[in-house]
Chains A and B, each alone.
Chain A
Amino acid sequence: MNQMQDTGPLLSVRNLAVQFNTVDGIVHAVNGISFDLFRGETLGVVGESGSGKSVSMLSLVRLVPEPPGEVTDGSALFRGTHETVDLLKLSWREMAAVRGRRIGFVFQDPLSSLNPLISVGKQIREVLERHNRARGKAAKRRSIELLALVGIPDPEKRYYSYPHEFSGGMRQRVMIAIAIACDPEVIIADEPTTALDVTIQAQIVDLLVRLKRELGISVIWISHDLGVVAGIADRVLVMYGGTAVETGTAETVYQHPRHPYTVGLLGAVPKLHEHNERLVNIEGRPPSVYSRLEQCPFAPRCPWAFERCTQQRPPLLPTGRDEGHSSACWYDLELNERRPGRST
């Protein structure tokens, strides 16, 4: 922990705001989120569909289509081994040099994420050649090594195979091979196991965890599956309605959640040893994304909400429980009391 503080976080995102300019109006997808990613850690980003978790992470590297997407505010300091850059201020060309080289990606659907008309070998090799890691025969050799590293049997032969000749799990392994090809500092994994069978999910989780440990890569793991994140994340960022509602170590967030949404989310996970007739859910629906957030996004669904929650948006504040644990709520769940407002 101390060592981490000495070097500072690898990635510091502050007040990131992303909107989509659509014909129906402006969609405020991400409303000012801040978080840190430390070297060698796995940050689990959890939230339901539409909470802005994928958009916020992909907008950092400009993989959100522009237009309609637009980053309207914020900074993202990326402290590399030689230089510190603000990702949000890079030109398109400079950003392209970061992607694939310093930041690797694994996407949700391995069936559609690989080009069906190009052999997997070429698709791996392309990233090596793009960032001048290897050319010609060396690039081919390295691609085969990578296939072997991610557990593809018979890699010399499979180098020439096309995506449709692989199963979903195998294609996701190929995606991982592409992601780690240039020894990146960070991997952004956007729901990497969601589209896979449960047994295959476990294999892909194991593979990513092993590679992360062996290669010393930091991972941003986006998921709506609290169970998966609990098993692998060092720290967790809980998102709701385009805002960060709670963050802290995985242990603290899971054992002592302080935001009503996190509490509800954990309550909604079915437990095997209890026999529930009905699955627990959180009442109500996520907020409309067309209005700028002036209030707590969770207020309409929150059993503890009071006037202040609909008048003022709560900032992410330290809970004091342990270092790095913060929650964005006007109600103190531990003391069971309302935090006094400035004027009211």
Chain B
Amino acid sequence: MQRYLLSRAIQSVMLMFGVLVLVFFLVRLTGDPARLMMPRDASPADVEAFREAMGFNEPLVRQFFGFMTNALRGDFGRSLHFRAPAMRMVLERMPATLELALAALAFALFVAIPLGVIGGSRPGTIWDTICRGVGLVGQTIPNFWLALMMISFFSVSLGWFPTFGRGGVRSIVLPAVALGLFPLGKFTRLVRSAVLEVRNEDYIRTAYSKGLLDHRVYTHHIFLNVSVTLVSIVGVQFGYLLGGSIYIETIFSWPGVGRMIHEAVQARDFPLVQALAFVSAGFIVLLNLLTDIAYVLIDPRIRYED
């Protein structure tokens, strides 16, 4: 098991290194970075001065090593627009995104697991129809549309929740519901089909043959096996949520990285974009690693493979 986890950790570090390389070259691939980063109406002299200041006229290899050395120290340069260290700005925004992502994930799982289990255990009944309906609606309703509808109904008409901003428990409810809708639909469908599949396994018949009652069979046998499938998809979905939800954070003026991506791209703030890309990728890699650890903890067959 240690060997497996160690090799996965090393892979993750190498992957992050690859992300850095990609982040560096992608900006250069788009053409002359100085022209791209400067406003359209900047004078040639200004562009040249900027190129000099950013070191873009140095040989590419040298630029690359300079970028890598700085990046490894956590220095992604200064935001062109905000004139502040890019990485620090991103990390300052991260807690808000993390908070929203966790709330959305919790909401999705809290609804999807019971619903999926109920639907999967009673195929063809009204419960199953509800379960399938929620799965479909969750995955097809655009979350920005739902966000606007909820704001107009719950915030404007009823005044239950603030229309935007971050502050207090109430402010997170609407963005979390809007953001959690898609994973909710996905998880519901996944849990339902996994329950349907697992309940026909021979070992479930064995569990019943021991005289176990439904609640025990479901909590100790079926759900354990369903969770193997669930863990992998939860990891991936959480990664998406952490990458920042540009729409939802923008609609609710949520001060997270999603909104920052929106602002940074619009302002052509390349150091900031680079830092954002690196942090988002880092979280996804970290989540994949955590998913693998969770796998190992749940499924002994993986644990002993090496």
Write the residues of chain A forming the contact surface with B, with a CB cutoff of 8 angstroms: 61, 63, 65, 93, 96-101, 104-105, 107, 109, 112-119, 126-127, 130-131, 162, 164-165, 175, 178
* Given A115-B221, A117-B298: A99 and B202 interface contact (C-beta under 8 Å): no
B294-306 to A contact mask, C-beta < 8 Å, 1/0: 0000111100100
- Chain B residue with Cβ nearest A111: B202
Residue of B203, B211, B221 with most chain A CB atoms under a 10 A cut-off: B211
Report whether A117 and B228 are in contact in the complex, using a CB–CB cutoff of 8 Å: yes
**Alpha-carbon gap, A162 to B298, bound state (A):** 12
A135 nearest CB across to chain B (Å): 15
Of A61, A104, A109, A130, the residue contacting B212 (CB under 8 A) is A130
Interface residues of B in 153-207 (CB under 8 A from A): 200-203, 205-207
**Alpha-carbon gap, A105 to B211, bound state (A):** 11
Report whether B224 and A100 are in contact in the complex, using a CB–CB cutoff of 8 Å: no
Report whether A127 and B211 are in contact in the complex, using a CB–CB cutoff of 8 Å: yes
Of A65, A162, A175, A178, the residue contacting B301 (CB under 8 A) is A162
The answer to the question of B83 belonging to the interface, with a C-beta cut-off of 8 Å to chain A, is no
> Which 7 residue pairs of A and B lie closest in terms of their CB atoms, listed nearest first?
A100-B211, A100-B210, A112-B202, A105-B209, A127-B210, A99-B211, A162-B300
Report whether A114 and B203 are in contact in the complex, using a CB–CB cutoff of 8 Å: yes
**Alpha-carbon gap, A97 to B213, bound state (A):** 9
Report whether B201 and A112 are in contact in the complex, using a CB–CB cutoff of 8 Å: yes
Q: Which residues of A contact B200 (CB under 8 A)?
A: 65
**Alpha-carbon gap, A104 to B210, bound state (A):** 7
Q: Which residues of A contact B298 (CB under 8 A)?
A: 117
Q: Which residues of B contact A117 (CB under 8 A)?
A: 224-225, 228, 298-300
The answer to the question of B17 belonging to the interface, with a C-beta cut-off of 8 Å to chain A, is no
Report whether B211 and A130 are in contact in the complex, using a CB–CB cutoff of 8 Å: yes
Report whether A165 and B211 are in contact in the complex, using a CB–CB cutoff of 8 Å: no
The answer to the question of B208 belonging to the interface, with a C-beta cut-off of 8 Å to chain A, is yes
Write the residues of chain B forming the contact surface with A, with a CB cutoff of 8 angstroms: 200-203, 205-213, 216, 220-221, 224-225, 228, 298-301, 304
A78 nearest CB across to chain B (Å): 14
Report whether A113 and B304 are in contact in the complex, using a CB–CB cutoff of 8 Å: no
**Alpha-carbon gap, A100 to B209, bound state (A):** 6
Report whether B209 and A99 are in contact in the complex, using a CB–CB cutoff of 8 Å: yes
- Chain A residue with Cβ nearest B221: A115
Report whether A115 and B211 are in contact in the complex, using a CB–CB cutoff of 8 Å: no
Report whether B202 and A107 are in contact in the complex, using a CB–CB cutoff of 8 Å: yes
* Given A113-B202, A114-B203: A63 and B209 interface contact (C-beta under 8 Å): yes
- Chain A residue with Cβ nearest B200: A65
**Alpha-carbon gap, A99 to B208, bound state (A):** 8
Report whether A93 and B213 are in contact in the complex, using a CB–CB cutoff of 8 Å: yes
- Chain B residue with Cβ nearest A116: B301
Report whether B210 and A130 are in contact in the complex, using a CB–CB cutoff of 8 Å: yes
Report whether B206 and A107 are in contact in the complex, using a CB–CB cutoff of 8 Å: yes
**Alpha-carbon gap, A115 to B209, bound state (A):** 13
Q: Which residues of A contact B207 (CB under 8 A)?
A: 115
Q: Which residues of B contact A61 (CB under 8 A)?
A: 209
A167 nearest CB across to chain B (Å): 15
**Alpha-carbon gap, A115 to B213, bound state (A):** 16
* Given A93-B213, A162-B301: A115 and B208 interface contact (C-beta under 8 Å): no
Report whether B206 and A178 are in contact in the complex, using a CB–CB cutoff of 8 Å: yes
B204 nearest CB across to chain A (Å): 8
Report whether B211 and A97 are in contact in the complex, using a CB–CB cutoff of 8 Å: yes
* Given A117-B228, A164-B301: A99 and B210 interface contact (C-beta under 8 Å): yes
**Alpha-carbon gap, A248 to B23, bound state (A):** 81
- Chain A residue with Cβ nearest B212: A130
Residue of A109, A115, A118, A119 with most chain B CB atoms under a 10 A cut-off: A115
A20 nearest CB across to chain B (Å): 14
Report whether B224 and A126 are in contact in the complex, using a CB–CB cutoff of 8 Å: no
Q: Which residues of B contact A175 (CB under 8 A)?
A: 206
Report whether A107 and B210 are in contact in the complex, using a CB–CB cutoff of 8 Å: no
Q: Which residues of B contact A97 (CB under 8 A)?
A: 211
**Alpha-carbon gap, A93 to B214, bound state (A):** 10
**Alpha-carbon gap, A116 to B210, bound state (A):** 16
**Alpha-carbon gap, A291 to B208, bound state (A):** 31
**Alpha-carbon gap, A112 to B207, bound state (A):** 12
B202 nearest CB across to chain A (Å): 4
B124 nearest CB across to chain A (Å): 9
Q: Which residues of A contact B224 (CB under 8 A)?
A: 115, 117-118
**Alpha-carbon gap, A97 to B224, bound state (A):** 24
Q: Which residues of B contact A104 (CB under 8 A)?
A: 209
A–B complex contacts, Cβ < 8 Å, 22 sampled: A61-B209, A96-B213, A98-B211, A99-B211, A100-B209, A100-B211, A107-B205, A107-B206, A109-B202, A113-B206, A114-B203, A116-B203, A117-B224, A117-B228, A118-B220, A130-B210, A130-B211, A130-B216, A131-B211, A175-B206, A178-B206, A178-B210
**Alpha-carbon gap, A103 to B212, bound state (A):** 13
Q: Which residues of A contact B304 (CB under 8 A)?
A: 162, 164-165
Q: Which residues of A contact B301 (CB under 8 A)?
A: 116, 162, 164
